[in-house]
Amino acid sequence: MSPSSKDRLLVWVLRACAGLSGAIVLLIAVFLVLESLPALRNVGFARFFSDPSWHPARYAADGAYNLAPMLAGTLLAMAGAVALATPLGFCAALFCHFYAPPGLARACRRLIELLAGIPSVVYGFWGLVTLVPLLNKVQPPGASLLAGILILALMILPTIALMADGALANVPAEYLRGAAALGLSRSATIVGVVFPAAKSGLFTGVILETGRAAGETMALLMVCGNVVQVPKSLFDPMRTLTANIALEMGYALGDHRSALFVSGLVLLALIVALAAAAEWLSKGRVYE
């Protein structure tokens, strides 16, 4: 084999690898759509929001397929966790950059990296054995939207902090020196100079973590109580879309199974929309 034909073979092998890796997303979309089709055909899209309840059955005519309470559960837990974790994560990043002495800042970053690596099932386990009993003392049953929000916030906090840390590190040093030369106080520098300059990086991080919060399964499955209902208060149990898939996939058949793939498809659409938003935001950088 001459060297050039060997090269050509190599390039084709590499192209096949890259093509296959790139095609996985398409494969996922295709398989989700294919498996959702029976439910979309037999149940119809409208019934996923208008049916009286979620009592799925093997044949569409026998069941009720309202996904709305679980979609609400996913969105509520996501919104609560992001609202709680964002300011705390930003504070942790500010701490590492502007407040902590260098040694402490390094230790703090290490700790955050360590926490970002703890698996969700471990956070869920801690929530189940420690947090839920505590909340149960305040207001039974304990397993609730609030427990879900707290655990989810803890889970996404380290990554928000790491991304905010990266965004703050990208603020040009001249800006900080300029602010110091103008005699700005530290809080005025942070609010008036650092945040605007790091805006797009901070937003991108938050949006990516919003996606992770929407897709989180195990922790929410373990602490939310899994009752299918729109929670009326923070202390009501509820079920998310992801938990619903994890709970019912094992025994679901026919249109029920297919309906679970529909909820997967809804999740995927939500994530793709968030990723597009993050992409669009990170293009509008204020500095550079």
Partner 1 sequence: MSRGRAADRLLALAVWVSVLAVAAVFFWILGSLLWSGMGRVTWAFLTTAPRDAGRAGGIGPILVSTLLILGVCMAVSLPLGLGAAVLLSEFAEAGSLFGRAVRRSLDVLAGVPSIVFGLFGTALFCQALGLGYSIFAGGLTLACMVLPILIRATEEGFRSAPSEYRRAAAALGMSRASALWHVLLPAAAPGLLVGLVLGMGRALAETAALLFTSGYVDRMPESLLDSARALSIHIYDLSMNVTGGDPNACATAVVLVALLLAVNGLAAWMTGRWLSRRVLPA
Q: Give residues 216-275 in contact with partner 1 (rule: CB under 8 A).
A: 216-218, 221-222, 242, 245-246, 249-250, 260-261, 264, 267-268, 271-272, 274-275
Q: Is 181 in the site for partner 1 (CB under 8 A)?
A: no
Are 248 and 93 contacting, i.e. CB atoms less than 8 angstroms apart? no
The verdict on 11 binding partner 1 (CB under 8 A) reads yes
103 belongs to the binding site for partner 1 (CB under 8 A): no
Q: Find out whether the peptide bond into 237 is cis, omega within 30 degrees of 0.
A: no
Residue 111 in the binding site for partner 1 (CB under 8 A) = yes
**Alpha-carbon distance 122 to 117, whole Å?**
11
The pattern of x and - marking residues 147 through 166 that bind partner 1 according to CB under 8 A reads -------x--x---------
Which of 138, 186, 196, 253 is the binder for partner 1 (CB under 8 A)?
Answer: 186
C-beta of 50 vs 169, nearer to partner 1: 169
Among the listed ranges 30-38, 51-59, 170-178, 196-204, the one in contact with partner 1 (CB under 8 A) is: 30-38
Q: How far is the CB of 27 from partner 1 (least distance, A)?
A: 7
Position among 190, 194, 197, 206 found at the interface with partner 1 (CB under 8 A): 190
- With binding defined as CB under 8 A, does residue 58 bind partner 1? no
Q: Which of residues 72-101 bind partner 1 (CB under 8 A)?
A: 87-88, 91-92, 94-95, 99
Sites for partner 1 among residues 112-131 (CB under 8 A) = 113-115, 117-126, 128-130
CB distance 163 to 244 below 8 Å:
no
- Phi first, then psi: give them for residue 65, nearest 5 degrees: -130, 45
Element (H, E) at 54: strand 54-55
DSSP states along 71-125: HHHHHHHHHHHHHHHHHHHHHHHHIIIIIS-HHHHHHHHHHHHHHHTS-HHHHHH
Q: Which long-range contacts (CB under 8 A, 24 or more apart) does 189-195 make?
A: 190/94, 190/98, 194/168
Q: How many residues in the shown chain lie near partner 1 by CB under 8 A?
A: 84
Is the CB of residue 149 less than 8 Å from the CB of residue 223? no
For residue 52, the minimal CB distance to partner 1 (Å) is 26
The answer for 171, left when phi > 0, alpha when psi is -120 to 50, beta otherwise, is beta
Residue 84 and residue 67: Cα distance in Å, rounded?
26
Asked whether position 37 contacts partner 1 by CB under 8 A, the answer is no
